[in-house]
């Protein structure tokens, strides 16, 4: 019962964090590992628990989605769905012990992406490049595989790819939210049939994340986003160091 109460609090925090700055998995993943799950199962449970919040975010911004790079949004969604399935299947085929050794590097990579996307300024006046459909499709497919496998930092990967393909930042943000939901929908569809999922913990985390996301949306205009993003980066670095020192 104590574990479930703590996971509810963690879910609330992750929901608020995702609404304000992103990086909710940096909270849920270590919490699930500390609750007694191996790294791979914790990653699967985190994906399942945070998915409803992603659907909500994507639905709210659906009117701003767009295709780019010579590909329509439907084509991008199909590519994302296929890549998400492959990534999820690769995760299930990865032995738990091997995935546990990879987790510190994956968290470090995701933290670096988050920090770069949050604090590195890019020239606003630079003329956007427009990649062709082949390059755009390959980039989105590779990002989707990574998203289905681990998922940390996919938002910034997609923002970089979609803006490089010609979308404005505003349309790219809404498009990547929906595509992230599509990727994780594919992963969720695979993970739901995986034996050994701790469904009670997933449900408690999910409820907390949904409620936290609601309050996070209300706090969006009152909290310093840079401060929140700085906290996420610091948390990611602490988690990385902890995982390297004490591998699961």
Phi-psi domain of 5 (left: phi exceeds 0; alpha: psi -120 through 50; beta: other)? alpha
Name the residue among 34, 14, 39, 9 with its Cα closest to residue 24. 14
pLDDT in tens, 163-179: 777 777 678 777 887 88
pLDDT in tens, 78-88: 999 999 999 99
Residue 74 parent element (H or E): helix 73-93
pLDDT at residue number 123? 55
pLDDT at residue number 239? 78
pLDDT at residue number 247? 65
pLDDT, greater one: 222 or 66 = 66
Instruction: For the full predicted model, state whether its pTM sits above 0.85.
Output: no
pLDDT at residue number 120? 73
Residue range 105-134: mean pLDDT, rounded: 71
The whole-angstrom separation of Cα 20 and Cα 16 is: 6
């Amino acid at each position: 019962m104590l574990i479930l109460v703590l996971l509810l609090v963690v879910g609330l925090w992750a929901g608020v964090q995702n609404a304000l700055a992103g990086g909710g998995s940096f909270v849920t993943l270590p919490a699930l590992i500390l609750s007694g799950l191996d790294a791979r199962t914790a990653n699967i449970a985190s994906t399942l628990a945070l998915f409803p919040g992603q659907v909500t975010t994507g639905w709210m911004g659906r009117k701003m989605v767009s295709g780019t790079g010579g590909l329509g949004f439907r084509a991008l969604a199909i590519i994302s769905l296929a890549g998400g399935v492959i990534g999820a299947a690769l995760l299930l085929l990865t032995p738990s012990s091997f995935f546990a050794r990879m987790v510190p590097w994956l968290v470090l990579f995701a933290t670096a992406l988050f920090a770069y996307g949050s604090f590195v300024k890019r020239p606003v006046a630079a003329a956007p490049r427009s990649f062709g459909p082949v390059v755009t499709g390959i980039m989105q497919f590779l990002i989707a595989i990574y998203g289905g496998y681990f998922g940390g930092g996919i938002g910034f990967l997609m923002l970089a790819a979609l803006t490089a393909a010609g979308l404005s930042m505003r349309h790219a943000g809404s498009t990547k939210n929906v595509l992230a939901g599509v990727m994780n929908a594919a992963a969720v569809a695979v993970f739901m049939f995986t034996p050994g999922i701790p469904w009670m913990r997933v449900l408690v985390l999910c409820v907390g994340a949904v409620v936290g996301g609601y309050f996070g949306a209300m706090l969006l205009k009152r909290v310093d986003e840079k401060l929140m993003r700085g906290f996420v980066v610091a948390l990611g670095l602490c988690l990385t160091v902890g995982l390297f020192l004490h591998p699961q």
